[in-house]
């Protein structure tokens, strides 16, 4: 969030404003954060980050579709966990488009660049400003410029490293890893397992 203006989107304006207040109170430093309806948040943002349950992905994107502007970046964090159909969070369901990232890309206007990122980072870690987010963030997209924008955002998160994970179709693999991390969380009774990539020292 450092240096960026953040808009929290919600189906309820009240919930968005309340969430923005909590972020402002717990950030530990002055931050520019406000709350808006999902539609208005999408209208105003340069980068839209989608963090909703997979079951709500299609409906939500269809609702906000008229609010997208050409050149925007949509970051899909949602993962098709089996919980979408009443199953386990340690498994995923098959997605007809290949992955949640590709499904998102099939719905939004073609002038919006879809990026998959942050799917393997625990929200528990991200919401605690006193903690280093010691995770690597796999970023994939068919648009190199959009990938660079998101990789630059990752640089603003203390302890996190971003990796260019190739084309959007790699969302299929990245999203599966989330289910495995959930399984590790349960087995080791923690809430914040993550990934570290080894063998690449020159992270730009």
Q: Are 201 and 136 in contact (CB under 8 A)?
A: no
- Closer CB to ligand NAP, 144 or 188, in the complex: 188
87 binds ligand NAP (CB under 6 A): no
* Out of 4, 5, 12, 66, the residue judged to bind ligand NAP by CB under 6 A: 12
Concatenating the DSSP letter of every residue in 62-99 gives HHHGGG--TT-EEEE----BGGGGT--TTSB---TTSS
* Out of 42, 77, 139, 146, the residue judged to bind ligand NAP by CB under 6 A: 77
Per CB under 6 A, contacts with ligand NAP among 156-175 are none
Determine the 3-state secondary structure of 6 from DSSP.
strand
Q: What is the closest distance, in whole angstroms, from the C-beta atom of residue 38 to ligand NAP in the complex?
A: 7
Q: How many residues does the chain have?
A: 204
- Closer CB to ligand NAP, 112 or 117, in the complex: 117
113 binds ligand NAP (CB under 6 A): no
Q: Which stretch binds ligand NAP (CB under 6 A): 53-61, 91-99, 137-145, 162-170?
A: 53-61
Q: What is the closest distance, in whole angstroms, from the C-beta atom of residue 78 to ligand NAP in the complex?
A: 3
108 binds ligand NAP (CB under 6 A): no
Concatenating the DSSP letter of every residue in 120-155 gives TS-HHHHT-TTS----EEEEEES-HHHHHHHHHHHH
- Closer CB to ligand NAP, 73 or 179, in the complex: 179
User: Strands of 47-50's sheet, edge to edge?
Assistant: 47-50, 73-76, 113-116, 136-141, 161-164
Neighbours of 24 (CB within 10 A): 14
Structure tokens at 22: 């909590």
79 binds ligand NAP (CB under 6 A): yes
How many residues of this chain interact with ligand NAP, rule: CB under 6 A?
18
The residues, ordered by sequence, that sit 6+ positions from 56 with a Cβ below 8 Å of its Cβ are none
Residues near ligand NAP (CB under 6 A) are: 10-12, 15, 51-54, 56, 60, 77-79, 81, 119, 122-123, 178
């Amino acid at each position: 969030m450092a240096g960026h203006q953040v808009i929290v989107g919600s189906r309820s304006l009240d919930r968005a404003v309340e969430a923005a207040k909590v972020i402002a109170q717990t950030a530990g430093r002055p931050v520019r954060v406000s709350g808006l309806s999902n539609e208005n948040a999408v209208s105003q943002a340069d980068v839209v980050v989608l963090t909703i349950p997979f079951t709500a992905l299609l409906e939500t994107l269809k609702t906000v579709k008229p609010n997208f502007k050409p050149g925007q970046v949509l970051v899909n964090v949602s993962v098709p966990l089996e919980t979408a159909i009443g199953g386990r969070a340690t498994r995923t369901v098959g997605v007809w488009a290949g992955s949640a990232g590709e499904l998102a890309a099939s719905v939004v206007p073609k002038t919006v660049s879809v990026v998959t990122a942050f799917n393997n980072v625990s929200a528990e870690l991200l919401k605690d400003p006193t903690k280093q987010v010691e995770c690597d963030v796999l970023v994939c997209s068919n648009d190199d410029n959009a990938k660079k924008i998101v990789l630059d955002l990752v640089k603003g998160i203390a302890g996190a490293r971003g990796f260019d994970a190739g084309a959007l179709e790699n969302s299929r693999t990245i999203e599966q890893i989330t289910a495995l991390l959930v399984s590790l969380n349960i087995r080791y009774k923690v809430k914040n397992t993550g990934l570290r990539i080894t063998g690449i020292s020159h992270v730009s």
